[in-house]
Amino acid sequence: MNVSLKQSAGLDAYLNLGEIVADLRKLRAASQKRRYREGRLPELPSREAMTLIVDGLAAALYPRHFGPSELTVDCTTATCSIHSRRPCVPCRSRCGESSISTTPDLISLPTSMGRNRSKS
């Protein structure tokens, strides 16, 4: 470990990383000052989080195709969702009994379920 630390310290010095990082920071600060003056920087979205959300939405729209792999045919019928009083076995094991009546989970709540459930 000491060897690799030493090696990386040597590499840092060789690349002059400290100066590069400082220059980048200066440019970033100047750009931010130009755009936002002294105001607070806006928070930016996470691309990774957006991808997960969109995949979840695709799963909510088409659960049999894009839902979790443990989803069975029963899971996508009116008698089962995490909101149902009678969740199927995969839903129970995936979400746990305690989470059954909590806020909607898009992955497990296809939009047609709510409507169908009231009829069943």
Partner 1 sequence: VREFAASLPNVRALLDTDIRAAFDGDPAAKSLDEVVFCYPGVSAMIRHRLAHRLYLLGVPMLARIIAEAAHSQTAIDIHPGAQIGESFFIDHGTGVVIGETAVIGRNVRVYQAVTLGAKRFEMAANGRLVKGQARHPTVEDDVVIYAGATILGRITIGRGSTIGGSVWLTHSVPPGSNITQARERSDTFDNGGGI
Q: Residues in the site for partner 1, rule: CB under 8 A?
A: 45, 47, 50-51, 54, 57-58, 60-62, 65, 111-112
Nearer to partner 1, 96 or 104 (CB): 104
Single-letter amino acid, residue 112? S
Nearer to partner 1, 19 or 65 (CB): 65
Name the percent of the chain in helix, strand, coil, to the closest 5.
65, 0, 35
Nearest approach in angstroms of CB 22 to partner 1 is 30
Interatomic CA distance for residues 83 and 117, integer angstroms: 9
- Closest approach, Cβ 85 to partner 1, in A, equals 22
Distance separating alpha carbons of residues 62 and 56, to the nearest angstrom: 10
